Structure formats: C-alpha cells, structure tokens
C-alpha cells in the first residue's frame, strides 16, 4: 500500500495529488501540450495555500492563479526544509 505524504507539512491524512496547469506549449508539428506541476497536499495545507493566493487577486485567469499556487506551495516546502535544519 502506497502512503502519500503532504509535500508541505509531511502529514498523511487526507492527502491528494494535485496538478496545477499553468501554460500551453506548441510543438513544431502544431500539437499543443499543457504544462503544469504536481504536488501531494493535505486538505489543510491546500486550503491555506488557496486562501493566501486567492486573497491576492480574485479576477486572475486560471494560468496566473495556478502559477501563484505553485509558487506558494514551493515557498511553503522550502520554509519547512529551513525549519527542519
């Protein structure tokens, strides 16, 4: 059985894998590919990130909002690493 751990707090309860698309890339052949990042987040950490990001700008488009979410998740992961040192 695979146990998923939150990337921010290390918790194991109610952790879900979240994919945040933030751009679309075109290939030479004309195909498009959606680019994004994946994080394992527990409900409380995901909610905290969303509250912080969505409180900044309510009228942002999906790509910009997801870029801010990705940035905030990475910021919280780095903070956790610094605290553990």
Burial 6-35 (b: 16+ CB within 10 A, else e): bbbbebeeebeebebebeeeeeeeeeeeee
pTM of the model: 0.61
- 29 vs 39, more confident: 39
Residue 69 has pLDDT above 80, yes or no: yes
Per-residue confidence (pLDDT) for residue 1, from 0 to 100:
66
* More confident of the two residues 13 and 84: 13
Measured distance CA(69)–CA(63) in Å, rounded: 10
Per-residue model confidence (pLDDT) at position 56? 63
């Amino acid at each position: 059985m695979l146990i998923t751990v939150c990337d921010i707090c290390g918790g194991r309860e109610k952790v879900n894998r979240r994919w945040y698309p933030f751009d679309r890339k075109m290939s030479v052949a004309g195909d498009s590919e959606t680019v994004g990042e994946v994080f394992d987040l527990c409900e409380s950490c995901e909610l905290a990130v969303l509250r912080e990001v969505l409180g900044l700008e309510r009228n942002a488009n999906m790509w910009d909002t997801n870029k801010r979410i990705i940035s905030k998740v990475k910021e919280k992961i780095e903070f956790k690493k610094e605290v553990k040192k």
